[in-house]
């Protein structure tokens, strides 16, 4: 099942929906991929022989100790893992997108630097060859619907998260629509094609952010769950 809708204490909209302009919502969106990465890294490095103190139990304890959203998991964590270990795992994942969950793949790209533009791989301006190539690979990664959500929900989450985290070249109305829809998708809803088209038309009619948010709330109440 999806997560319940909650108001963001920073922007007042639904949590996640204020990204990328609301820093708190943007950090929550980053956590969608970061949480999956931490879990994956624990599986990869926690079971590797010879790594002292990287047992799953200890990592779990660290996670429960209060994670700062968007802080990432590189750095001296004192658990025997190094930034080099993490980078090696990221490079491996980046080379085999079709073997990994999209959340893990997106997080791996964030840990690599583009040789062409120097930005995080896949996050540079549209038109950078290295980033465009890596960005295209994202869609080879695996999407698994959470239990109890309509089929295709995970794909919709992925597209919206991808757009919100890499908004270059996306029109303002589309970015607004995708960010405002994200909380409902995470809650387990999915618009029909007709509802999505109706929203798209409403967004293009160019009203204020508050009016658009109210429309998204109204339309989302009709989504299948």
Per CB under 5 A, residues contacting Zn ion are 8, 10-11, 18, 22, 24-25, 114, 116-117, 124, 128, 130-131
Nearest CA among 134, 131, 126, 128 for reference residue 97? 134
Interatomic CA distance for residues 139 and 27, integer angstroms:
23
> How far apart, in whole angstroms, are the C-alpha atoms of residue 185 and residue 111?
26
Choose between 18 and 97: whose C-beta lies nearer to Zn ion: 18
Which residues, in sequence order, are CB contacts of 99 under 8 Å at separation 6+?
A: 142
Beta bridge partners of 142: 101
Q: At its nearest, how many Å lie between Zn ion and the CB of residue 132?
A: 8
Nearer to Zn ion, 60 or 95 (CB): 95
Nearer to Zn ion, 114 or 186 (CB): 114
Min dist. Cβ of residue 64 to Zn ion (A)? 24
Q: Which is nearer to Zn ion, 91 or 222 (CB)?
A: 91
CA contacts within 13 A on the Cβ side of 109: 30
The least CB distance from residue 78 to Zn ion, in Å, is 32
CA 94/CA 136 separation, integer angstroms: 12
Closer residue to Zn ion, CB minimum distance, 25 or 89: 25
CB of 162 to Zn ion, least distance (A): 16
Closest approach, Cβ 13 to Zn ion, in A, equals: 6
Q: Across-strand partners of 101?
A: 142
Q: How far is the CB of 12 from Zn ion (least distance, A)?
A: 7
Closer residue to Zn ion in complex, CB, 24/67: 24
Distance between CA atoms of 18 and 90, rounded to whole angstroms?
29
Q: Omega before 106 cis (within 30°)? A: no
Count Cβ atoms below 10 Å from residue 20 Cβ, excluding itself: 16
């Amino acid at each position: 099942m999806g997560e319940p809708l909650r108001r963001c204490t920073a922007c007042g909209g639904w949590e996640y929906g204020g990204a990328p302009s609301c820093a708190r919502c943007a950090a929550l969106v980053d956590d969608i991929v970061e949480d999956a990465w931490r879990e994956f890294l624990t599986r990869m490095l926690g079971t590797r022989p010879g790594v002292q103190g990287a047992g799953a139990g200890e990592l779990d304890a660290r996670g429960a100790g209060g994670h700062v959203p968007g802080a990432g998991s590189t750095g001296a964590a004192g658990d025997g893992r190094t930034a080099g270990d993490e980078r090696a795992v990221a490079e491996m994942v980046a080379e085999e997108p079709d073997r990994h969950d999209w959340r893990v793949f997106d997080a791996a790209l964030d840990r690599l630097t583009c040789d062409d533009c120097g930005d995080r791989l896949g996050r540079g301006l549209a038109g950078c060859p290295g980033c465009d190539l890596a960005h295209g690979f994202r869609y080879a990664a695996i999407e698994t619907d959470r239990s109890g959500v309509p089929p295709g929900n995970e794909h919709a989450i992925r597209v919206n998260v991808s757009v919100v985290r890499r908004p270059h070249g996306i029109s303002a109305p589309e970015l607004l629509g995708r960010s405002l829809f994200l909380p409902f998708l995470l809650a387990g809803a999915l618009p029909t094609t007709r509802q999505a088209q109706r929203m798209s038309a409403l967004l293009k009619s160019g009203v204020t952010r508050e009016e658009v948010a109210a429309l998204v709330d109204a339309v989302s109440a009709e989504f299948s769950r």
